[in-house]
Amino acid sequence: MKIKSIATLSVTMPLREPYSIAYETVASASNIFLKIKTDCGLTGFGCAAPDQAVTGETPGSVRQILEGPAAEAVKNADPLRIAMIMERLKGLKESHPSALAALDMALHDILGKACRLPLWRILGGFRDRILTSVTIGILPVEETVDRAEAYAAQSFRSLKIKGGKNVEQDIMRIIKVRESVGSRMELRFDANQGYTAEEAIRFVREVRKARLELIEQPTPMGEPALLGQVTRQTLIPVMADESLKTLRDAFRLAKNNLVDMVNVKLMKVGGISVALQINSVARSAGLECMVGCMDESALGIAAGVHFALARPNVAYADLDGHFDLLDDPAHGAVILRRGILFPSPLPGIGFDPDI
């Protein structure tokens, strides 16, 4: 089997409702869809969700990489030799992670189709479904509570609440949400680098009675010592997100005991292959993993689901980046029931977008 052609398509998808986090407000998402055709009739699909603040990429730079160096690397290559192909492009991992994630995703899609198996079974097959959190952006207290109640009514069981702009308001929002949704709802909090170490420690202390499940990236990613300070002085798990972009980052976080958990996003680390390596490092250090996402098409979310289902150490999922996207070419690529995500039963990633 050989790769015959590679093509890309840029799609900008508006959000049903804009949302705010500590450093920006988001109203739409631009994804780059990738199609790889082989000479035996199999076609693999992937997508990239570039975010200049997180991945350092733009839609234009992603297409340049996929249509240039990536296309050259895969020309006439055997698509089942994923490690060989991705090694050819290893120099682009840090500068163009979502572009490589799209390529890696499409190659894994072909692998699953060649084997006639859903990808999660090939990668390990530990579980067949996973609970996901659903995210509430930064809103006033009353609106946050209303949104939490609405999600509870839709049978979601885990909420992730964004904050990091105002610690006083964040404390109040968490406490009021817990009072509103009761004890059975899982609550997670993401400060998106917005706190000092002192603010993060105070926040955790003040919301103790709300029984948070975890706090995600409370301090700036460029100051890992602050992350370690929060981890040592708080009782709930501290998770790295923006601080984890490469396999070396995972090693440093684990080696120095800076966190309790890591958030692995395929778009941020460069695809499923690297995500599996990072998960192995985390497991060796006794760190749990969460698979997260950007604002990405359901196709990218589906790839994240397959990764999450494959390994026991990926105990948490935050795969809601497709929920509010309009005009998604891959709508329906994953199945949601009562806050739980299920993969498609079809081979590979399980969905062929009409692109």
CA nearest to 127, candidates 353, 319, 308: 308
Give dist(CA 340, CA 343) in Å, integer.
10
Rounded Cα distance between 192 and 197, Å, is: 13
Tell me if residue 90 is catalytic: no
265 is catalytic: yes
Q: E strand or H helix at 305, and its extent?
A: helix 298-310
Distance of CA 337 to the CA centre of its chain: 19
3-state secondary structure 186-200: EEEEECCCCCCHHHH
Residue 183: φ, ψ to 5°: -85, -15
Looking up tokens 């109040």 gives: 172
- Select which of 186, 265, 320, 324 is catalytic: 265
Catalytic residue among 35, 162, 245, 268: 162
Please say whether the beta carbons of 58 and 50 come within 8 A: yes
39 is catalytic: no
Residue 204 one-letter amino acid: V
Q: Active-site residue among 241, 296, 318, 328?
A: 241
Active site residue 245: no
* Interaxial angle between packed helices 97-115 and 272-284, expressed in degrees from 0 to 180 and rounded to the nearest 10: 100
162 catalytic? Reply is yes
Catalytic residue among 109, 170, 186, 190: 190
Options 216, 249, 288, 328, the catalytic residue: 216
- DSSP character at residue 327: S
> Which residues in 39-152 belong to E strands, given as ranges?
43-48, 130-131, 134-136
HSE toward the beta carbon, residue 274, CA cutoff 13 A: 31
DSSP codes, 63-88: HHHIIIIIHHHHTT--TT-HHHHHHH
**Beta strands, E only, 39-185:** 43-48, 130-131, 134-136, 158-162
Catalytic residues: 162, 190, 216, 241, 265
